[in-house]
Amino acid sequence: MTDLFKDKRVAIFGVANERSIAWGIADAMYKQGARLAFSYAGEVLEKRVRPLAESVNADLVISCDVTDDTQIEEAFRQIASKWGALDVLVHAIAFANREDLEGRFVDTSRKGFAVALDISAYSLVALARAAAPLMTNGGSIITLSYYGAEKVVPSYNVMGVAKAALEASVRYLAADLGPQNIRVNAISAGPIKTLAASGIKGFKGMLHVVEERAPLRRNVTQEDVGASALFLCSELGSAITGETLYVDAGYNILGM
């Protein structure tokens, strides 16, 4: 199949560079015929995102800081002006202060906790609220989580709590938006070398552990996650909502 997403309008929030999981999803959808819009926050990210967007003939490249509701409203105004409607929203945004990813979780600052939860979890709620009115024929919303939402992962700290909130938000949003035929799901991907992952202490060790112990004896790739996103966001996944799909070579099923 080469037209699974033919003429589908997809807005992608969270591409940082060509190694981003979000870019793997964007590329997979583009190859299946999707029309794409990308967001960026700040000039540094714009310099990385714009060339990638141009390489897949993106219709829109939009400035949007997800902590600012006015900017979110403006981003979706531009999407509505260009396309009139929206089929898929990809949320791939997460952030925690570096000092809150080191040491003990119990030492997380109040401000650091609020920042991590706002950017990593509430932003999904804010973007979904803005996207839903444009999904006039139903649609699909997808976000990215990680196993640290469910179990303690060293140095993941407040981000694990934020991802737990994100996964709970997926379920509540799925219940709210289901009557509009809007599906909301998460992919919990195994560790992948991304810009965000570089901020996690001991990340290379995590890759080694997964490759050594996961049932499939390998790490996952952008392409693995992109293929799973195709499934969840297309008609192939039309009866799936409120779920967290693990794409981690089976690592999550292990005990000891």
- Annotation says 156 is catalytic: yes
Could you say which DSSP state residue 232 is in?
Answer: H
Q: For the residues of 79-139, what is the DSSP string, one character each?
A: HHHHHSS-SEEEE------GGGGSS-GGG--HHHHHHHHIIIIIHHHHHHHHHGGG-BTBE
Using CA atoms in the order 245, 250, 253, 254, what is the torsion angle rounded to 10 degrees?
-150
Q: 96 with 120: CB under 8 angstroms? A: yes
- Tokens 């999981």: give the residue: 21
Q: 213 with 252: CB under 8 angstroms? A: no
Exactly one of 30, 146, 147, 246 is catalytic; which is it? 146
Exactly one of 147, 156, 246, 251 is catalytic; which is it? 156
What angle in degrees, to the nearest 10, is found between the helix axes of 222-233 and 21-31? Answer: 60
- Annotation says 146 is catalytic: yes
Could you say which DSSP state residue 159 is in?
Answer: H
What angle in degrees, to the nearest 10, is found between the helix axes of 69-83 and 123-131? Answer: 30
Residues catalogued as catalytic:
146, 156
